[in-house]
Structure 1
Amino acid sequence: MSPQLITTTRAYLRQFKLLRTLMHALRTLSRAPRTRLAAYQQRMRDRHRRRAELQQQRSAATRFQYQQVLSLLTAAHNSDFGELRSTIESVRSQTYPKWQLCIVCDGSLPPAVVAALNRYAAKDARIKVTHGTECSGKSAALANHALRSTSGEFVGLLAAGDQLAPEALYAVVMLLNQQPAADMIYTDEDEVGADGMSCRRVLKPDWSPEHFLAGMYTGSMSLYRRALVTEVGGFREEMEGAHEYDLALRIVERSKHIHHVARVLHHRRGGRSAAGAAAQFTASGAAQRAVSEYLHRNRIAAICEAGVNGVQHRVRYRIAGQPLVSIIIPTAGYRRVVGEREVDLLVNCVQSVLGKTQYHNYEILCISDGDLQQETKQAINDARVSIITFSKPFNFAEKINFGARHARGEQFLFLNDDTEVISGEWLTAMLEFSQQQAIGAVGAKLYFPDGAIQHAGVVIPEGGPCHIFYEYPKE
């Protein structure tokens, strides 16, 4: 191409403002192969790093002081062979080698699938295929059948189609080497779609007895010490549908050594949503019955009710006596526009407490800076309300402590003045928990005026504490 033609072409493109666009396109195209190459090279580096990490685990596993066998129990009821194969291969890929996988068939599988399972068992002595045709469709009975066929020191259920991360059992055994007294261990999990990609993580809290009574949040990957499973009688068939939850409840009442491995090590197959898996344990009448029996066995003065969301249920503790609750409200007497109206925050807060609270034995202490308007004082004039002046320079903590020193109650409740009571049982519900000996503080779910969640607890991820589900929809 001649220099004159190049000059003419550039002038033409500049005239129609196309030169910059063309040059950008050419630069993008020239970078694309390099970008794809860099991404491919990064994937290969990640893959090699992952392989090296897993190989290091295989080597380290041989040096563990604790090297007991872990037994996994899988019920094969109307299961697709592809699902079973994915589960088996995930177990066979474990970097910790001392495991057993017992697959119990209930007569619902085609002969070709049973034959394929038997070939796996013939190839790997750690895999055992048993038949429990008398247990057809009964999950608890199938679990007991598989339990009798294994010998591992720890046992756990693994659903057909679910998979373990290669390092799952290694991480469990590493914890057992650090915490040899552990009796129950659970991990985080996620849901895997048909494309094999993770689409939802379930990151669980560490052990919380109160949370556990509301539902089996420990989920699908839990391992239990066999001696305790045997001691409590295994899976109770009358708790079908909640048999693992019932087993776990009977174990945790005998042991406080419950541990959480905070890593996603269990991949739940798509279609079994987190809510669906939880509902299997908690929404059924069997789950509610299991919790009620737990409360009775442990002489806990409480009842178990169905929850509002159809998944969890609710334990209502009996309040001992009629303790005086001191509601301490620090205030600066501000007004704020909420919606289309101006609101006196303290008046709105106090009147909502007085008008809606069903629990009657409480006092309200409004800790002001001494500048409340007369109309504000008149609006909250009530025998249960005291206005106390804090005359020092602003210090929120000192202001709260000042209020506490003037309080007469057995229980203190600190309340911001920009809140409004929306449920009559709010104070009763909090008192039910604050009276429990093992509980030092209780919080409540808070909503923004538009119904979005403002506060539903605090988590501490990397970067510091934050409100969980902040600005999520109400339900």
Structure 2
Amino acid sequence: MEFEKLNKIRKIKRVWQERGTQGLIKFLYQKLVFKFRNQISYQRWVAIHRLTQQDITTAKRQISQWHLRPKFSIIMPVYNVEATWLKKAIESVINQIYPDWELCIADDASTQPHISLILNHYSKLDSRIKVLFRTENGNISAASNSALDLVTGDYIVLLDHDDELAIDALFENAKLINQYPDADFIYSDEDKIDTKGKRFDPFFKPNWSPEYFYSCMYTCHLGVYNTNLIRKIGGFRSEYDGAQDYDLVLRVVEQTKNIYHIPKILYHWRVISTSVTSGEQAKPWAYIAARKALEAMLERSSYPGWVEETSRAGFFRVRRNVIGNPLISIIIPSAGTTINTSSGSLCLLENCIRSIQQLSSYRNFEIIVVDGYDIPEETLEKIVSLGVELVRCTEPFNFSMRINRGAAKAKGQFLLLLNDDTQVITADWLQSMLELTQQQEIGAVGAKLFFPDGKIQHVGVMILAGNPGHVFHEVEGDHPGYFCSNIVNRNYLAVTAACLMMRQEVFQLLGGLDEAFPLNYNDVDLCLKAHQAGYRNVVTPYAQLIHYESASRQKGLKPGEWKQLNHKWQDYFEKLGTDPYYNPNLSLKAPNFELF
């Protein structure tokens, strides 16, 4: 706890140094208001979504009509837990709406006498409860494997000895399995619960998001796994104790694509002093084990690399070795516009090219500027002297057409679409994007863009009810996002073409940018084509640029653009239902991960 307090003091000091006294006061006030508002919002949400007796009756009627009745084996390793929490954990299983379960408990040689009394009591109370008493302490993986030996069910469910399942947890999983019998791995949303039974801090998760998963063990609770698959991969491994479930799932997802997410709170994670929920220093070895599990994953991967820490404990940056030294073709449509800034006039194109050439640590790139014979002669001379290739168009401005023209001239295996009103901040921006783009399963890779005042311009695009919107648009640049979404790699349905990298072969396969979108939504359309084709799109916050958004052309949509996008993608939007990287419990008003 002392370490945690010291970290908070350091953060406050850093904010004060960066923003001054008034900035610090504003930061602390906003943080307090945000925390209070979220607590109030969630209590309201819980009241609205609480199950009624009618809901339970309806669920039981559905169960009686199901063709599939999967049996769930809940694995619960136990060691010296307080009697109150152990009883609540067991009773949360007994109270399940869905009846086809067994609770497989392995006591890891507890020294507290109440443990055996409680376990023996419940095993006699309900024949579905199986108990094994280990003779020596082996820690959580060994105990979990002992519980696994008791399993006879189709699916394994992981429950910690001081947590609780929601009453409909198994029902919702059985319901999904009836719809998707091929399911191998199912995870749900979760929240925390205090010692007085108050629920708080919900985590409404995205659908399967590999890049986010390689940043943190976000699937966590409730995790449900095909029993045969768990046995095939060898169960739990003691060398990863503390992050044994992370190691388990890292191996599970290498074996199957049948991964499903239930966007409902089905698990309540107890906050007590011995739990990782109580703070970073409760179980520091858990984060060490998580890093070790990621490093083992990289050793097995087709894209090996290394793991780096981030500013948040439990969140990591997985780096991938760049394969070879491929040429990147940077395509910049431009009119050579000059704007006025607080420091004087600024030619956006010259500034953009200068930042690329001076700051980029990755050097194998070419720059292709596409214009409509409107770049001033003075600027033309400067950029040509810098070794830039010029492609000229006589047609009226059409962003998509100009990018396609530039791509046709590109020699690189990788294309980087870039607005001329951007300025590179991070030296390794090209490597950061390239190490993701080179992966065959990935389509578009976007960057983290800031307005000149430091606020966020782009960290990903959500499409809510047919409306594309930038997440956390115009919030403070250091805002961590929703469960650190702004500071780690994360999948999104779309990214902005203001800075977008894609393999040339994928760009051509998708037909390039649709020239029917001359100004807006051409990037959203490209990303949707990639997603529909089976690629996933990613934003990396480690590639950072300033974006003088729309400085070189007028802001806003033209008549019919939104309608055109929705007409083209109506069927796909209906198939998706909601943006897979958002959560249907969250508000559609704005893509800021709020409940109301």
Q: What TM-score, normalized to structure 1? A: 0.81
* Residues 165/278 of structure 1: CA separation in 2 closer, same or farther (3 Å cut): farther
Supply the distance in 1 between the matched residues of 2:78 and 2:168 (Cα, whole angstroms). Answer: 24
Counterpart in the other structure of 1:206: 207
Where in structure 2 are the equivalents of 1:27-426 lying within 5 Å?
50-108=52-110, 110-135=112-137, 138-194=139-195, 196-270=197-271, 284-298=287-301, 300-309=302-311, 310-338=313-341, 340-426=343-429
Counterpart in the other structure of 1:34: none
* Residues 167/282 of structure 1: CA separation in 2 closer, same or farther (3 Å cut): farther
**Cα shift at 1:47:** 9.0
Give the aligned length: 431
Supply the distance in 1 between the matched residues of 2:393 and 2:49 (Cα, whole angstroms). Answer: 63
- 2:270–2:277 contact (8 Å) kept in structure 1: no
- 1:351–1:380 contact (8 Å) kept in structure 2: no
**Cα shift at 1:73:** 1.7
Supply the distance in 1 between the matched residues of 2:282 and 2:384 (Cα, whole angstroms). Answer: 48
Supply the distance in 1 between the matched residues of 2:94 and 2:279 (Cα, whole angstroms). Answer: 27
**Cα shift at 1:67:** 0.9
- 1:106–1:135 contact (8 Å) kept in structure 2: yes
**Cα shift at 1:354:** 0.7
Supply the distance in 1 between the matched residues of 2:367 and 2:49 (Cα, whole angstroms). Answer: 62
Q: What SS does the aligned partner of 1:62 have?
A: helix
Q: Which amino acid aligns with 1:111?
A: P
* Residues 49/155 of structure 1: CA separation in 2 closer, same or farther (3 Å cut): closer
Supply the distance in 1 between the matched residues of 2:417 and 2:408 (Cα, whole angstroms). Answer: 13
* Residues 46/400 of structure 1: CA separation in 2 closer, same or farther (3 Å cut): closer
- 1:70–1:154 contact (8 Å) kept in structure 2: yes
Counterpart in the other structure of 1:455: 458
Q: Unpaired segments of 5 or more residues in structure 1?
A: 1-41
- 1:324–1:361 contact (8 Å) kept in structure 2: yes
**Cα shift at 1:221:** 1.6
Q: Per-residue displacement from partner, 1:144-170 (whole Å, max 9, x unpaired)?
A: 121112322111221233222222211
Q: CA RMSD in A?
A: 3.1
* Residues 344/278 of structure 1: CA separation in 2 closer, same or farther (3 Å cut): farther
* Residues 387/278 of structure 1: CA separation in 2 closer, same or farther (3 Å cut): farther
Stretch moving more, 75-84 or 56-65: 75-84
Where in structure 2 are the equivalents of 1:411-450 lying within 5 Å?
411-450=414-453
Supply the distance in 2 between the matched residues of 1:412 and 1:283 (Cα, whole angstroms). Answer: 40
Stretch moving more, 61-70 or 332-341: 332-341
Q: What SS does the aligned partner of 1:332 have?
A: coil
Q: What SS does the aligned partner of 2:220 have?
A: coil
Supply the distance in 1 between the matched residues of 2:285 and 2:358 (Cα, whole angstroms). Answer: 35
Counterpart in the other structure of 1:7: none
Stretch moving more, 185-194 or 226-235: 185-194
**Cα shift at 1:52:** 0.8
- 1:443–1:457 contact (8 Å) kept in structure 2: yes
Which has the greater radius of gyration? 1
Supply the distance in 2 between the matched residues of 1:323 and 1:256 (Cα, whole angstroms). Answer: 30
- 1:365–1:388 contact (8 Å) kept in structure 2: yes
* Residues 291/95 of structure 1: CA separation in 2 closer, same or farther (3 Å cut): same
Q: What SS does the aligned partner of 1:130 have?
A: strand
Q: Which amino acid aligns with 2:102?
A: Q
Q: What SS does the aligned partner of 1:214 have?
A: coil
* Residues 324/337 of structure 1: CA separation in 2 closer, same or farther (3 Å cut): same
State the percentage of identical aligned residues: 39
Q: Unpaired segments of 5 or more residues in structure 2?
A: 1-43, 481-596
Stretch moving more, 395-404 or 333-342: 333-342
Counterpart in the other structure of 1:21: none
**Cα shift at 1:123:** 2.1
Q: Per-residue displacement from partner, 1:358-381 (whole Å, max 9, x unpaired)?
A: 221211122233322344334434
Q: Which amino acid aligns with 1:329?
A: I
**Cα shift at 1:97:** 1.1
Supply the distance in 2 between the matched residues of 1:417 and 1:77 (Cα, whole angstroms). Answer: 60
* Residues 51/388 of structure 1: CA separation in 2 closer, same or farther (3 Å cut): same
- 2:158–2:222 contact (8 Å) kept in structure 1: yes
* Residues 80/86 of structure 1: CA separation in 2 closer, same or farther (3 Å cut): same
Q: Which amino acid aligns with 1:422?
A: I
- 2:108–2:134 contact (8 Å) kept in structure 1: yes
Q: Per-residue displacement from partner, 1:281-333 (whole Å, max 9, x unpaired)?
A: 997343333333333334x2412222323423333323233222111122233
Supply the distance in 1 between the matched residues of 2:155 and 2:368 (Cα, whole angstroms). Answer: 54
Supply the distance in 2 between the matched residues of 1:461 and 1:234 (Cα, whole angstroms). Answer: 39
- 2:437–2:443 contact (8 Å) kept in structure 1: yes
